[in-house]
Structure 1
């Protein structure tokens, strides 16, 4: 019985250590995106960020959903310069999208050598 207790305690310690390492390596920063809205030729996405200011690229890949299993690329790798600041902000992409259903991939990349990816978001939008 004592060995089982030691194994359980050891497992809990390992899980807590892993969580602590994740928080240390990510810096505890949080980056989230709200629902994208398309209006008057501009795709706007609200962003919330909890970290230190960073210069970034917002890279967009947009696909028109033709059927459930079929899509057509509308734009690939359209990029917008941006600055992440603590709090709420928006990123905007000017693009002409006719009515239809779209899948939007937004990648946030550091403006540094090799442009490492910070995170990405996938959104579905419907334009009437």
Structure 2
């Protein structure tokens, strides 16, 4: 139960911060979502720092990982997890899996949004 609460608290905090940053910066440019871009880059930096420190030994415990990486970064941006997973594939020399996973995630994600929008118009 404690783990669920940690993910919940981190996720809520990350989501709230993502909303505030996006609301503050997305209006600056007509065709570039600056707030979302900022959130995604900061999220990637944060998850890199968090997971990097956790791999150094006992610097970050399991509860802190749940709060910060799974909760906060997950609520702040799932792009950070997406980027970390791609980096892991590249680091392990899995270029084909990197290309397949990245391409299919982007293409199917865009297609799923389009299908969802299309279905919502029908209902």
**TM band (smaller chain):** under 0.3
Larger proportion of strand = 1
TM-score relative to the length of structure 2: 0.24
TM-score relative to the length of structure 1: 0.23
Higher gyration radius (CA):
1
